Chain A
């Protein structure tokens, strides 16, 4: 049950001339996180979620399942939503990463999606919320919302919430999209 990540090397026989990296190697990566340049040297088996949380202290990104189902760890990679628990840190070399900490304006003004989640009671315990905020932000900024409730729910079906029953999240998504649309 342990070891969803990175333990295969223990079972693999080393092969002469094998140039694969080992867990103790460090690979230099350079990326942008929430608009700031970041340079780091990371183990090749380090998950992006662990890099963001552990190395950069960006603990807003949460890890709910570590197997890509719950979506709590969703971040944006070059503008696209991605599971940071299924992404290795080395894979994001050269990329732009946006996390929940990068949603609000630098002056603290909340993103319309953040405001809408509060206004529509789109969160309870708040653990899945960062992933939902990132998924919904991408949705309302880049895609047309389905007109039907069923259609919108399908658009939200990449993330699990165990508290809200999704009603507040559906409402928040509509509200945020309306606000963004009204500002053109």
Chain B
């Protein structure tokens, strides 16, 4: 093979359409005769509907139907609990449309279908809804107390789930400790805010009995399963297509949302295509949220800073329902010990219902909170023991020769005990110190402090279990006309560049250019074995499935070419779209010819096909044209199932200056060292990391969903909930380390969420360092708004 594509900065195949306005997002798809939907949503957090009248809405010209729960028939059931777990004592999931009770502002109550969206929204406003308003408590800490208002009246203390996990002997560890550090930290609620809101379109074909649903989802196969089941249709009669999807970041993994039921239902009912596109304000009160957790963490350590044991008890706000199970809390609980040896762990959590939008994974999925807890605690321990923050981490790292490192009985999201597979944590920290030029920074900080400026350095070391199973697959087919390779997987992409990354992997095996590998994903009509895109798993699980399939395709091509060239398959080389015998590259056959000849034909539908017809001299065959056990064409499907999660890691640092007057924070440098194993495409990896850091910056500084005491979301717009512009994200200095994962053939670890995880702690640590000369209290919460900084400064002045 000539130039290796794996590891190269290959430009993306998907860009051609996206930079010319030819993207294929759900709302871009032309659907003849399409009708438009709009929801009427609850205006109160917890209430009982006393009056619901759709008369005026139905009477509005241009309105086709208005649906309430009573119209849904067999679909009027609570939605599935997607990831059941025995610790969920009180699972509650939502109806597609609310019955008498509403549980959060924004819960769908009625669905209007009209000629256009303007009319549909007019009609939605004409629906009369009165409520008995019930008391609410939106703070999860208070909601879990005795006597708090209940979200679900039969769920005591609003506790949906409770889990205790013990690894090692924490009691002995705490008994043996010289020193115990205890802190409480909190991370607030945020939302993924993908640039494309949720969207669904559907068409019912009454002739074939087929339902086609185009949906901005991360999980088309899962949604297909749910719709087949709910609509009582064979899976073959339901096709779910996730075309271009404008960002996902987690919440689009959840299904089915109300729109994913109502839009196909209306299309089937009205025999017309129906489309619904969420608007931004609606997205804030409908699409799932994440992040609020309150951790009480304790570290038991020796006097020289070796951590012997960890106890963490935390509350996880799951919102009004728990459709995705305990995933967020479970991931947080299993990443709580970070990169540290810590041999004894006791971790307990409660998932608490609050009358708010349901909570499911958002980029990071509990890891940002766990990272914030353990790393804040490590900083505190370092301060209490008088040990440097870098040094205390170094003293606790799992060493390279200790891998695989298992935390017994701490069960990760793949159902297996946490087993960190590989890493060079010490090297990563050293690389960070070198990039920062730590001595120079400390001198600069001293100088700044002498001038009365507040300069601080913060750091955070994270680990991330990535590449969850159960499995993914890939189909590769060589096209007989063009010789191009077509690749399908069961995933879907929301910007991660699968069309390029998979093409690179295939190109290396079969000797074609990456642009000649056409990747089609996200369409259950094309390939419908697999799981979904989430948890930094695509490159690990699908990437390796594509690799295994490409190796298999290569073998089939070599065999077919060897037959054509009368050579040994082992002597066949593939390069530049051709197969030839090693050393004779001028002679050979094209991959198109190989694909043609490997499919015995009767009909010569074109000139090339003549060669494969039964009387052609080239297609001579003494036995069966297709020998027993053989299949026609060059087409393979293969699967990859990881033994367990593979653990990426990294360490970030920031140098910040706090303006004591405006409370503004200037991030002067941001340095990121990370290791996601072997990189398929460093350009794409850098984009993932940078985008992750940008979302982390949002979480560190700006993004906080503000529920008032009545459970009304007060900042449900981009004017009030601040997503970082280019001005709010620093330039990121990035250092790649590549420690191959021993778990998969390509040595890959996931990177999708990596950038986001440590940022809250990095900034908190840096701000705390900056304010330390003033005697400010420690930072225990993100986001760090200017008001939060102001509070820290005021407390410093009061205590001074």
- A residues adjacent to B (C-beta < 8 A): 1-7, 10, 23, 43, 45-46, 50, 53-54, 57-67, 69-70, 72, 99-101, 103-104, 110, 114, 117-119, 121, 123-130, 133, 149-150, 153-154, 156-170
Chain A residues with CB under 8 Å of B245's CB are 125
Top 9 nearest A-B pairs by Cβ distance? A60-B21, A127-B246, A126-B18, A125-B495, A165-B690, A124-B495, A165-B694, A69-B718, A100-B21
Instruction: For chain B, residues 247 to 290, give those with C-beta under 8 angstroms from any C-beta of chain A.
Output: 247, 249, 279-282, 285
User: Is A10's CB under 8 angstroms from B20's CB?
Assistant: no
Min CB–CB distance A153 → chain B (angstroms): 4
Given contacts A10-B122, A60-B20, A99-B21, contact A160 B718 (CB under 8 A): yes
User: Is B494's CB under 8 angstroms from A125's CB?
Assistant: yes
Which of A124, A129, A166, A167 gathers the greatest number of chain B CB atoms within 10 Å? A124
User: Is A10's CB under 8 angstroms from B18's CB?
Assistant: no
What would 7 more interface pairs be, CB under 8 Å, given A3-B124, A53-B27, A119-B11?
A1-B41, A4-B281, A46-B118, A125-B245, A127-B23, A160-B718, A166-B725
Contact of A121 among B12, B39, B40 (CB under 8 A): B12
For the complex, what is the distance from the CA of A170 to the CA of B619, rounded to whole Å?
57
Given contacts A110-B20, A118-B12, A125-B247, contact A162 B193 (CB under 8 A): yes
Chain B residues with CB under 8 Å of A5's CB are 118
User: Is A124's CB under 8 angstroms from B38's CB?
Assistant: no
> Does B90 sit within 8 A of A, measured CB to CB?
no
For the complex, what is the distance from the CA of A159 to the CA of B716, rounded to whole Å?
19
Which of A69, A149, A154 gathers the greatest number of chain B CB atoms within 10 Å? A69
Residue of B nearest to A3 (CB): B121
- B residues adjacent to A (C-beta < 8 A): 11-12, 14-23, 25, 27-28, 30, 38-41, 106, 116-118, 121-122, 124-126, 192-197, 244-247, 249, 279-282, 285, 494-497, 683-684, 686-687, 689-695, 716-719, 723, 725-727, 729, 731-732, 755
For the complex, what is the distance from the CA of A140 to the CA of B187, rounded to whole Å?
40
User: Is B25's CB under 8 angstroms from A127's CB?
Assistant: yes
Which of A50, A61, A162 gathers the greatest number of chain B CB atoms within 10 Å? A162
Residue of B nearest to A131 (CB): B195
Min CB–CB distance A111 → chain B (angstroms): 9
User: Is A162's CB under 8 angstroms from B19's CB?
Assistant: no
Chain A residues with CB under 8 Å of B118's CB are 5-6, 23, 43, 45-46
Residue of A nearest to B56 (CB): A10
User: Is A170's CB under 8 angstroms from B246's CB?
Assistant: no
User: Is B27's CB under 8 angstroms from A160's CB?
Assistant: no
Chain A residues with CB under 8 Å of B690's CB are 164-168
For the complex, what is the distance from the CA of A159 to the CA of B728, rounded to whole Å?
12
Chain A residues with CB under 8 Å of B121's CB are 2-3, 7
For the complex, what is the distance from the CA of A106 to the CA of B718, rounded to whole Å?
36
For the complex, what is the distance from the CA of A2 to the CA of B43, rounded to whole Å?
11
User: Is B247's CB under 8 angstroms from A66's CB?
Assistant: no
User: Is A125's CB under 8 angstroms from B280's CB?
Assistant: no
For the complex, what is the distance from the CA of A130 to the CA of B25, rounded to whole Å?
13
For the complex, what is the distance from the CA of A72 to the CA of B496, rounded to whole Å?
19
Residue of A nearest to B716 (CB): A1
User: Is B195's CB under 8 angstroms from A127's CB?
Assistant: yes
User: Is A67's CB under 8 angstroms from B718's CB?
Assistant: yes
For the complex, what is the distance from the CA of A184 to the CA of B120, rounded to whole Å?
51
Residue of B nearest to A10 (CB): B122
User: Is B281's CB under 8 angstroms from A161's CB?
Assistant: no
Residue of B nearest to A134 (CB): B21
For the complex, what is the distance from the CA of A166 to the CA of B728, rounded to whole Å?
10
Given contacts A1-B279, A125-B244, A168-B687, contact A160 B723 (CB under 8 A): yes
- 5 A-B pairs with CB atoms under 8 Å apart are A67-B719, A159-B725, A160-B718, A165-B691, A169-B726
Dominant SS among interface residues on chain A: loop
Given contacts A133-B19, A165-B694, A165-B732, contact A126 B14 (CB under 8 A): yes
Residue of B nearest to A34 (CB): B21
Chain B residues with CB under 8 Å of A67's CB are 280-281, 717-719
User: Is A104's CB under 8 angstroms from B20's CB?
Assistant: yes
User: Is A163's CB under 8 angstroms from B495's CB?
Assistant: yes
User: Is B686's CB under 8 angstroms from A62's CB?
Assistant: no
For the complex, what is the distance from the CA of A166 to the CA of B719, rounded to whole Å?
20
User: Is B246's CB under 8 angstroms from A126's CB?
Assistant: yes
User: Is A121's CB under 8 angstroms from B279's CB?
Assistant: no
User: Is A124's CB under 8 angstroms from B281's CB?
Assistant: no
Chain A residues with CB under 8 Å of B719's CB are 67, 69
Contact of A164 among B194, B249, B279, B687 (CB under 8 A): B687
User: Is A162's CB under 8 angstroms from B194's CB?
Assistant: yes
For the complex, what is the distance from the CA of A4 to the CA of B75, rounded to whole Å?
30
Which of A6, A99, A127, A156 gathers the greatest number of chain B CB atoms within 10 Å? A127
Given contacts A127-B195, A167-B686, contact A160 B691 (CB under 8 A): no
For the complex, what is the distance from the CA of A125 to the CA of B252, rounded to whole Å?
14
User: Is A161's CB under 8 angstroms from B279's CB?
Assistant: no
User: Is B30's CB under 8 angstroms from A170's CB?
Assistant: no
User: Is A64's CB under 8 angstroms from B196's CB?
Assistant: yes
Chain A residues with CB under 8 Å of B23's CB are 59-60, 62, 126-127, 129-130
Contact of B19 among A110, A127, A163, A170 (CB under 8 A): A110
Chain B residues with CB under 8 Å of A133's CB are 19
Min CB–CB distance B126 → chain A (angstroms): 7
User: Is A66's CB under 8 angstroms from B280's CB?
Assistant: yes
Contact of A156 among B691, B723, B726, B731 (CB under 8 A): B726
User: Is B496's CB under 8 angstroms from A2's CB?
Assistant: no
Min CB–CB distance A155 → chain B (angstroms): 9
Given contacts A2-B121, A127-B25, A157-B725, contact A65 B718 (CB under 8 A): yes
Min CB–CB distance A12 → chain B (angstroms): 13
For the complex, what is the distance from the CA of A58 to the CA of B121, rounded to whole Å?
23
User: Is A1's CB under 8 angstroms from B15's CB?
Assistant: no
Residue of A nearest to B282 (CB): A1
Chain A residues with CB under 8 Å of B196's CB are 62, 64, 125, 127
Residue of B nearest to A151 (CB): B727
Chain A residues with CB under 8 Å of B727's CB are 150, 153-154, 156-157
Min CB–CB distance A137 → chain B (angstroms): 11
Which of B717, B726, B729 gathers the greatest number of chain A CB atoms within 10 Å? B726
For the complex, what is the distance from the CA of A51 to the CA of B606, rounded to whole Å?
45
For the complex, what is the distance from the CA of A161 to the CA of B349, rounded to whole Å?
35
Which of A101, A126, A160, A169 gathers the greatest number of chain B CB atoms within 10 Å? A126
Min CB–CB distance B763 → chain A (angstroms): 15
For the complex, what is the distance from the CA of A118 to the CA of B282, rounded to whole Å?
32
Given contacts A70-B195, A101-B20, A114-B20, contact A165 B495 (CB under 8 A): no
User: Is A2's CB under 8 angstroms from B246's CB?
Assistant: no
Chain A residues with CB under 8 Å of B694's CB are 162, 164-166
User: Is B280's CB under 8 angstroms from A65's CB?
Assistant: yes
For the complex, what is the distance from the CA of A86 to the CA of B116, rounded to whole Å?
19
For the complex, what is the distance from the CA of A57 to the CA of B194, rounded to whole Å?
24
Residue of A nearest to B681 (CB): A121
Residue of A nearest to B684 (CB): A121
User: Is A2's CB under 8 angstroms from B125's CB?
Assistant: yes
For the complex, what is the distance from the CA of A164 to the CA of B195, rounded to whole Å?
12
User: Is B723's CB under 8 angstroms from A162's CB?
Assistant: yes
Chain A residues with CB under 8 Å of B125's CB are 2-3, 7, 10
